[in-house]
């Protein structure tokens, strides 16, 4: 049995029962070196509460590197409320959980800011925001970025274009064969945008209803497994993580992997296997950071939406070029180089004099 690796270098971890529900509210603040720790609030069933805590700690650690790599002036955090087996989430239970979470977040005085994640959406962030200012990814109606899907999609499209430029010498995606696995919120926006730019699409989803999109766009529809192994220029996994195992990596026939799914590789070491096979892998936390970058630009740094979107796309494309070029120069795998990019920004921030804390930033904003 593999031991689960859990990061143990958090600035602050708390697990306290909610006053209303008694359910444990888990908050992991991995790092505030670059700014308030931002990360989604996950409300879902786990087999045991400890699995929820492990998820919270792994994801908050990953958020630090995701935020540092995009240099958006935020740190890494996460919160989890594990639901007991069989519990159905009525609106009353959901609101009681959100009130419990809002109360605990507020007590942290801005060190942690929640966002939408599995089991929560922009409207839940609006609900929390009515009790504490430390909730982002709010609805547009409430003055927020409207969740993270739009930003994540736009950043991913820019990442694919930059990867095509570096890895394939392509000045546009026109004529490229692109396989998208997973046609949910992000995969659907991506398919439409790439089709409009002249790409030839191969689309797949476990939900047969999504075939209608393939028909509408004149794309080839196939089973997810076949799309993963299809001969194509770019493979964009936009459903689940862990899909590129050592075995799958040995069978892939794409030239670039760049998708929205978290943790696309089953292990970081698969990146070296892909490099050896001449496949360029854009690390997930570089490719899918657009939602975080856009929402924090609009809601934390108060940029106008158009400016925030331009900065999101430009920043992600630059990161993709840096990482893939470094990889081509033999400086390391794309995963190692992406982590190093984030680490350099963390080290540089630690070497500078102390910055104002989140509570001071909030006070200064009024």
Residue 240 binds ligand NAD, judged by CB under 6 A: yes
User: Of 3-11, 182-190, 212-220, 321-329, which part binds ligand NAD (CB under 6 A)?
Assistant: 182-190
Determine phi and psi for 144, rounding to 5 degrees.
Answer: -100, -170
Shortest spacing between CB 329 and ligand NAD, in angstroms: 28
Shortest spacing between CB 359 and ligand NAD, in angstroms: 28
Give the Cα separation of 73 and 321 in Å (integer).
Answer: 21
- Among the listed residues 95, 107, 123, 207, the single contact to ligand NAD using CB under 6 A: 207
In the region spanning residues 91 to 150, those forming contacts with ligand NAD, defined by CB under 6 A, are: 148-149
Shortest spacing between CB 23 and ligand NAD, in angstroms: 23
- Among the listed residues 182, 283, 315, 326, the single contact to ligand NAD using CB under 6 A: 182
Residue 183 binds ligand NAD, judged by CB under 6 A: yes
Nearer to ligand NAD, 104 or 120 (CB): 120
Is the CB of residue 30 less than 8 Å from the CB of residue 11? Answer: yes
- Among the listed residues 14, 220, 245, 262, the single contact to ligand NAD using CB under 6 A: 262
- Among the listed residues 260, 270, 338, 346, the single contact to ligand NAD using CB under 6 A: 260
Nearer to ligand NAD, 244 or 261 (CB): 261
User: Of 93-101, 254-262, 321-329, 343-351, which part binds ligand NAD (CB under 6 A)?
Assistant: 254-262
Residue 214 binds ligand NAD, judged by CB under 6 A: no
Residue 283 binds ligand NAD, judged by CB under 6 A: no
- Among the listed residues 187, 283, 326, 342, the single contact to ligand NAD using CB under 6 A: 187
Shortest spacing between CB 262 and ligand NAD, in angstroms: 5
Length of the chain: 366
Q: Which residue has the tokens 């929820």?
A: 52
Determine phi and psi for 73, rounding to 5 degrees.
Answer: 70, 30
- Among the listed residues 33, 64, 152, 296, the single contact to ligand NAD using CB under 6 A: 152
Dump the DSSP string for 99-161: HHHHHHHHHTTTSEEEE--TT--HHHHHHHHTT-S-B-S--GGGTS---SHHHHHHHHHHHHH
Shortest spacing between CB 193 and ligand NAD, in angstroms: 14
Shortest spacing between CB 351 and ligand NAD, in angstroms: 30
3-state secondary structure of 80: strand
- Among the listed residues 4, 206, 212, 304, the single contact to ligand NAD using CB under 6 A: 206
Residue 238 binds ligand NAD, judged by CB under 6 A: yes
Active site includes 197? Answer: no
Shortest spacing between CB 222 and ligand NAD, in angstroms: 11
Shortest spacing between CB 196 and ligand NAD, in angstroms: 18
Q: How far is CA 172 from CA 159, 190, 220, in A?
A: 12, 15, 21
Catalytic residue among 16, 44, 78, 293: 78
Token pair for 197: 């730019």
3-state helix, strand, coil in the chain (%, to 5): 45, 20, 35
Q: Are strands 112-115 and 75-83 parallel, antiparallel or unpaired?
A: unpaired
Determine phi and psi for 281, rounding to 5 degrees.
Answer: -110, 120
Cα four-point dihedral sign 263, 266, 271, 275:
negative
**Nearest 5°: CA angle at 283, between 75 and 231?**
160
Determine phi and psi for 146, rounding to 5 degrees.
Answer: 80, 40
Residue 115: closest CA among 363, 238, 296, 362: 296
Is the CB of residue 157 less than 8 Å from the CB of residue 238? Answer: no
Give the Cα separation of 325 and 169 in Å (integer).
Answer: 12
Residue 324 binds ligand NAD, judged by CB under 6 A: no
Residue 87 binds ligand NAD, judged by CB under 6 A: no
Residue 64 binds ligand NAD, judged by CB under 6 A: no
Q: Which residues of the chain form contacts with ligand NAD (CB under 6 A)?
A: 148-149, 152, 181-187, 204-207, 210, 224, 238-240, 260-262, 288, 291
- Show which residues are catalytic: 78
């Amino acid at each position: 049995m593999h031991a689960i690796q859990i990061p143990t270098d958090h600035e602050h971890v708390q697990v306290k029962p909610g006053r209303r529900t008694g359910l444990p509210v888990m908050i992991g603040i991995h790092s505030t070196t670059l700014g308030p720790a931002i990360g989604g609030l996950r409300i879902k069933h786990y087999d045991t509460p400890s699995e929820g805590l492990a998820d919270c700690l792994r994801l908050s650690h990953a958020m630090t590197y995701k935020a540092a790599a995009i240099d958006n002036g935020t740190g890494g955090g996460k919160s989890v409320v594990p639901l007991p087996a069989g519990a159905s989430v009525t609106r009353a239970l959901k609101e009681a959980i959100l009130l419990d979470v809002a109360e605990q977040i507020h007590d942290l005085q801005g060190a942690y800011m929640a966002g939408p994640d599995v089991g929560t959406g922009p409207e839940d962030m609006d609900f929390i925001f009515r009790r504490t200012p430390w909730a982002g990814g709010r609805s547009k109606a409430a003055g927020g970025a409207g969740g993270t899907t739009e930003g994540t999609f736009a950043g991913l499209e820019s990442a694919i274009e930059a990867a095509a430029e570096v890895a394939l010498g392509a000045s546009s995606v026109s004529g490229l064969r692109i396989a998208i696995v997973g046609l949910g919120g992000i995969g659907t926006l991506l398919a439409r945008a790439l089709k409009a730019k002249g790409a030839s699409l191969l689309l797949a989803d476990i939900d047969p209803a999504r075939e209608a999109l393939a028909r509408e766009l004149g794309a080839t529809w196939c089973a997810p497994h076949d799309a993963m192994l299809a001969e194509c220029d770019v493979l964009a996994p936009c459903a689940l993580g862990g899909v590129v195992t050592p075995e799958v990596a040995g069978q892939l026939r794409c030239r670039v992997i760049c998708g929205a799914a978290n943790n696309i590789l089953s292990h970081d070491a698969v990146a070296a296997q892909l490099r050896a096979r001449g496949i360029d892998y854009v690390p997930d936390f570089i490719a899918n950071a657009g939602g975080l970058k856009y929402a924090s630009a609009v809601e934390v740094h108060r940029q106008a939406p158009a400016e925030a979107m331009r900065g999101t796309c430009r920043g992600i494309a630059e990161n993709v070029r840096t990482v893939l070029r470094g990889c081509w120069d033999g400086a390391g795998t794309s995963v190692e180089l992406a982590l190093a990019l984030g680490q350099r920004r963390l080290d540089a921030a630690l070497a500078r004099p102390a910055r104002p804390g989140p509570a001071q930033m909030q006070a200064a904003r009024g």
